[in-house]
Structures are given as structure tokens and as C-alpha cells.
Amino acid sequence: MRAVLQRVTQASCTVDGNITGQIGTGFLVLLGIEDADNSEDIDWLAQKIVNMRVFADENDLMNKALADINGDILLVSQFTLFASTKKGNRPGFTKAARPDVAIPLYEKMVEKLSQLLGKRVETGIFGADMKISLLNDGPVTILIDTKDKE
């Protein structure tokens, strides 16, 4: 499982002209899921996301987590995070999980993040053609891969 966290002051996801999710200050999380991922990956990654201390404290140092600032999460599925670019110029996506595997894991991640954050997590629509709008704060962008736990 791979996640790209972008610290934002606002973000939204639109599908067919309708806003499916929007947040103020917090994280836009782009989530890629592969066949090898499981609930242990969800638990580990969700903890990392909600406890990542990249928000400014009173001394303008990155010491605060989402809960400390009452921040939000917009979670968007993104299979292209598992693009293989080794050969040629057209990426391959064979490492990305198919929808029958990815959708239940994505839904479990939404539940887990909501539980840890203590509030609703905003989302895109799995598999849809989504338009993402964001105001990256910093910019601060962090890549987390559950295969790099150790």
C-alpha cells in the first residue's frame, strides 16, 4: 500500500461536476493498493497518517498531528501510484490491485481513518474520473509505503 500525503489548507474531489468530498486544513491522501496488501497494512498506514507530525506548533516547527489541529482527511484512491515505468514510455499497472481486491481494502481504510481521527473522512469515488483541487501547504508532500516498515 502506498500513500502520498499532501498537507493542505483546502482540498476537494469532484466527479461529474459534483463535489464528493472536501476539507479544510489537513491531508489529501492519495492511496494506492496492490494485491499483496492486507488489514495489517491498513492498521499500520492509518496510524502513520493520523499521527504524522507535520503541522506547525506555536514555534512554527512541524510538531503537531491531525488531532492536535482538528485536521481533516480527503482520501482518494489512486492505482497509478503502482505504475511500472521501467520499460518504454507507457506505464504498466499490473502491480495495482484489481477492484475486487482494492475496493474492500479502500473501504476498510476509510473506516480505520475515521475511527482513529474521531470523525468522518471525506472521499473520492473509487474508479471514477475524479478532479482533485488542492492548496498544498508548504508544500509538504510525504510518500509512505507499507513495504518499507522496517
H, E, C per residue of 6-56: EEEEEEEEEECCEEEEEECCEEEEEEECECCCCHHHHHHHHHHHHHCCCEE
pLDDT-derived band at 80, boundaries 50, 70, 90: confident
pLDDT 10s digits, 6-22: 999 999 999 999 999 99
Query: How large is the average pLDDT for residues 17-38?
Result: 97
Q: Which three cell numbers stand for residue 125?
A: 469515488
Query: How large is the average pLDDT for residues 20-30?
Result: 98
From residue 97, give the alpha-carbon distance in Å to each of 56, 101, 128: 36, 6, 16
Spatial CB neighbours of 56, under 8 Å, sequence gap ≥ 6:
62, 63, 64
Q: What are phi and psi of 66, to 5 degrees?
A: -55, -45
Query: How large is the average pLDDT for residues 52-71?
Result: 96
pLDDT-derived band at 150, boundaries 50, 70, 90: confident
Average pLDDT, the chain: 95
Query: How large is the average pLDDT for residues 77-106?
Result: 90
Long-range contacts of 58-61 (CB under 8 A, 24+ apart): none
Q: Do the Cβ atoms of 8 and 28 come closer than 8 Å? A: yes
Q: Do the Cβ atoms of 105 and 33 come closer than 8 Å? A: yes
Active-site annotation, residues: 80
Domain ranges of the chain: 2-148
The Cα 87–Cα 79 span in angstroms is 18
Instruction: Name which of 5-9, 16-20, 89-93, 139-143 the model is least confident about.
Output: 89-93
Fold of 2-148: D-tyrosyl-trna(Tyr) Deacylase; Chain: A; (3.50.80)
Residue 34, pLDDT > 90, answer yes
The model carries a pTM of 0.94
